[in-house]
Structure 1
Amino acid sequence: QYIKIRNNFTQFKNDYNIDIKTITENYDRIRKELDEVIDSLNNKKGIKEENRKPEPVVISTHDLILEYRAQLPELKVGEKVLAKWSDDNWYYRSTVEKKIDSKEPSEENFLYKIKDSASDHEEIYREDIIRFKDNKENFNIGDFVVAEHPDFAQSFAPGQIIGIRSDCLIVEFYDSIEHRVETDTTYKIPSFKYQLDIDSIIKAERQWIGHKCVFRSSKKKRYETGEILGRLGNRKKFKILSDKGEEEIINIIHIFGNFTRKRPIRKDDFVLAPLDEYFFPGKVETCNENKENQIEVVFADKKRNDNVKAENCFWLSKEYYDDFVLFYESKETGTNKIPTVDASDFN
């Protein structure tokens, strides 16, 4: 019995040693294969990393503006330019009055005092000013530009070149209007500036929504008061509800209110002034020096008011006044000339 037990134990020991040996060999083989796979993957990763292109550096819009601003040439006093005015963020012919000194002597300011054709002033940064001599570049289809808009005389807006002719360019403006423009009055701008200009124009237009205003009523051929309900599409037109409950679609050039550019009113200026329960264009005949901010106005329909408060009036260009006279005396809706409009806040 003892011999039988010893033999069984010996057989068990031998079998156990064989199993341990097999397990050890299998483990070593699998471990070796895994190490080879890992080494192979690491080698491939190393090759990929060597060939991988560096990630593009993302530059913020603010940094783009600062970089672009610093690259532009300095302007000279008296130089004729196009400048973007903050009331509507369109570009208008202007003149450089002076460069504003920086508060820090070691830093350049890039800020200029600009005067428009109506002698209004505004401080404008260099990137929003275009020199007339900057239109000498060659143009290509797809270029972003600032050009004179066909619907608004002497007013320049962002657009993109979609066609080139021997004597002109075909530009699609930000409001989807396509028109032929002269090469000599078209100015190339960077793509990021094009988008910034569009965004600023739309923002300026949207700020009118919900505000009271004075607007030119095509139905009554005079200026009524009302509230701006909304902006229609991208064509500078608004839906307005008059204080008498009537709705009209009005072009922004015929809307006056809190966001109209301010301007002092002087003798012989043309103004939009209150008359009875509405507003009407007229000419300032006298500024009463004895009574503060009181003016005498002779209206386009020959009526007059000797007791008008200047702060309740809106300054008009002669072009705009003449356009209204044509509109008033005819059955048409007037021309599309855009005025240079300034006024005190309308309350």
Structure 2
Amino acid sequence: MIECFGQHLVLVCDAAKVCRGQKVIARDDSDGLYYTGTVRKCVDCDHSLIKFASGEKLLSRNRFIIPVTNDGYKQKLRTGDYVLAKFETSDRFDCFIPGVITVTPKKSKFESNEFEVQNFEDSQMLLQRDMLFRIDQSRNPFILKITKTSDLQSTRSNNKLPQPYSVDSSSGSTDEVIMVHKVKPSKKESIKPAPISADKEDIRKINETLQAMNEKIMSLRLEHNNQKQLLENHTNNLQVTTKLMEMWRTPIPSPVTKHDVGTNTTRRMLSPPVVRTVVALCGDDGWYYRGIVKQTQQHGKLTIQDYSGFLQTANEDDVIDEKADAKITIKENDQVIAMHPMFTNSFAPATVTSQHENSTYSVTFHDNSKADLTRNEMYWLKSGKYHQIVEFIDKCLKRWVGETVIARCDNDGCYYMCACREKVGTGQLYSLQWPDGSQCVQTLACIFGPYTRKRLVNTGDWVMANADDSKFLPGRILSLSGNTAAVNFCDGTMKHQVNTAVCFWISKDYYDYAVSFYKNKQSIA
């Protein structure tokens, strides 16, 4: 599964499916939170009936249902991974809140084996691995919709949520942070020890031992403070994560108690945040991408934010509201925008050629690609809009001709500067000319240039950057200083003072794809 920002990729993304009897984590629309449950019935291609652990049976949209697999609890977690953090509600039911891994455990017997997680309140939590369920952010861009719980602090006081860091006031420094560990009180009666006689030599040895232990504690505190400072510097640079967290922040209404008829459960009901989910036309390539409306401007303009944090301005006429579209019945010969089978999370104009009994549709795209999709993967277009979109996509593709670009050389897997000479066929292939005069044909997914979607890069981002004066390679930003960055490249080299103006943001999936292709070519050479 591969995705390239602004352009498109070359691998197929299968639609997530839910089956009857499957264990899932699903959203309860009454409070916006996620709970464990079981699929009781697949109502249609867009909805399923979920029986939650509390005994409730509620209808939930398939795009807000996460199948529970062993991989989610066993996959190796790294800094920057998105997770659902589990905690226990007052009814003793498992509930999940979103978070981001900020610090992973060190391989040392003196270190904690807990992960440090930044939740949607921007506070830190310490959790064991079995309390974290990893989520693929590129595949589930809008599954993480949640509202802040109004009784979060009281929940923490009852030890329902993992405790954040606390300050040890007795240490004499407000900067020293100690991790809180709870000790379960023993049910056994305490046994009084027998009196022990101690001479001066014993007391001296005890004092020496205590002094050594105190020095060890001070050393560990100093090391922890240094790690805390590094963590704070790293957290300050995670601007993309902060933007994602903002969409979960809403004013907290007064909680109301809802008594569930037919069960003995009592749960908190909060008003879910008003989030308008849409698909919007991108002016860089003419394709549609899912996002949320961040701001309504004047003259019918909207500010749209996609799942990667990219912001753009779109006309109201170029935006399709998901809630309104779900009420429309799509029939044969209707024109739609649908998820393209070759490009992840990208929607292109298509025509419905037939409808099947299993609630799927056969569609043919503007580039003659074909696919069988569910209703959840397409949006209805009004009359005349299809041809407008196709003409705009063709106009965007022709803009690349004559431009100087960065493109992949299939001989070694590296990216070099070259000239885009002409468009080949009706798809996304271009004829390129290298500085030595040789030519090749390359797909737009492996070309970067002036019409690539613009996005500011941050620490931890995956980028395509210049490894030396002649070639570009995929890498990851380790730190930023003004307009320059330190980048760790896929060939094992590191370069400081990389100009961020010529760094192209790429997704983690595209990075893995580019690195795999590069290493394969290097091993052959």
Same fold (TM over 0.5): yes
- RMSD in angstroms over aligned alpha carbons? 1.7
What is the 5 A alignment of 1:330-341?
330=520
Match of 2:301 in 1: 111
Aligned pair partner of 2:279 in 45, 63, 82 = 82
251-260 or 236-245, which deviates more: 236-245
CA contact (8 A) 1:114 1:123 kept: yes
2:480 corresponds to 1:283: no
d(CA) in 2 for partners of 1:251 and 1:166? Answer: 36
Aligned 8 A contact 1:210 1:228 in 2: yes
Aligned twin of 2:484: 294
Q: Distance in 2 between matches of 1:311 and 1:77?
A: 36
Distance across 2 between alignment mates of 1:90 and 1:153: 12
Aligned residue for 2:457, secondary structure, equals coil
Task: Tell whether 2:384 aligns with 1:218.
Answer: no
Which residue does 2:499 correspond to in 1?
309
Give the whole-Å Cα distance in 1 for the aligned partners of 2:373 and 2:426: 20
- Corresponding position of 1:238: 430
Q: Which residue of 2 aligns with 1:156?
A: 347
Q: Is the 8 A contact 2:304 2:313 kept in 1?
A: yes
SS at match of 2:517: helix
Identity %: 30
Tell me the CA shift for residue 141 of structure 1: 2.1
The offset of 1:287, in angstroms, is: 0.7
Moved more, 316-325 or 206-215: 316-325
Counterpart residue number, 2:397:
205
Partner deviation per Cα, 1:241-264 (whole Å, 9 max, x = no partner): 122322222111111111112111
Q: What is the match of residue 318 of structure 1?
A: 508
CA distance in 2, matches of 1:136, 1:122: 27
Q: How far 1:142 sits from its partner (Å)?
A: 1.4
Partner deviation per Cα, 1:124-179 (whole Å, 9 max, x = no partner): 11111112230342222211000000010110000111122123111110111111
What is the Cα deviation at residue 77 of structure 1? 5.9
Measured against aligned partners, the alpha-carbon deviations of 1:181-203 in whole angstroms (never above 9, x if no partner) come to: 11221111023100000011110
Q: What SS does structure 2 have at the residue aligned with 1:321?
A: helix
Question: Aligned letter for 1:301?
Answer: D
Counterpart Cα distance in 1 of 2:372 and 2:397 = 25
What's the counterpart of residue 248 of structure 1?
440
Question: What amino acid maps onto 1:162 in structure 2?
Answer: T
5 Å-filtered alignment, 1:128-147, equals 128-133=318-323, 134-147=325-338
Higher relative contact order, chain-length normalized (CA < 8 Å, sep 6+): 2
Q: Any gaps of 5 or more consecutive residues in structure 1?
A: 1-75, 103-108, 333-347
Q: Moved runs in structure 1, 4+ residues, more than 3 A?
A: none
2:326 and 2:337 mapped to 1: Cα distance?
10
Of residues 85, 88, 97, the one that matches 2:294 is 97
Query: Could you list the runs of 5+ residues in structure 2 that have no partner in the other structure?
Result: 1-272
TM-score (norm: length of structure 2): 0.46
Q: In the aligned structure 1, how far is the partner of 2:409 from the partner of 2:318?
A: 34
Partner of 2:39: none
Partner residue of 1:21?
A: none
1:35-74 per-residue CA deviation (whole Å, 9 max, x = no partner) reads xxxxxxxxxxxxxxxxxxxxxxxxxxxxxxxxxxxxxxxx
TM-score relative to the length of structure 1? 0.68
CA contact (8 A) 2:294 2:305 kept: yes
User: What is the match of residue 312 of structure 2?
Assistant: 122
Shift of 1:328: 2.1
Q: Tell me, yes or no, if the aligned pair for 1:82 and 1:94 is still in contact at 8 Å.
A: yes
Query: Which structure is larger by alpha-carbon Rg, 1 or 2?
Result: 1
The reply to whether residue 175 of structure 1 matches residue 367 of structure 2 is: yes
The CA distance in 2 between the partners of 1:323 and 1:266, in whole Å, is 21
Aligned counterpart, 2:420: 228
| Stretch of structure 1 that moved more, 240-249 or 88-97 | 240-249
Helix, strand or coil: the match of 1:139?
Answer: coil
Residue 331 of structure 1, CA deviation: 5.7
Q: Is the 8 A contact 1:77 1:99 kept in 2?
A: no
Counterpart CA distance in 1 for 2:343 and 2:452 is 17
Per the TM alignment, residue 330 of structure 1 is displaced from its structure 2 partner at its CA by: 3.0
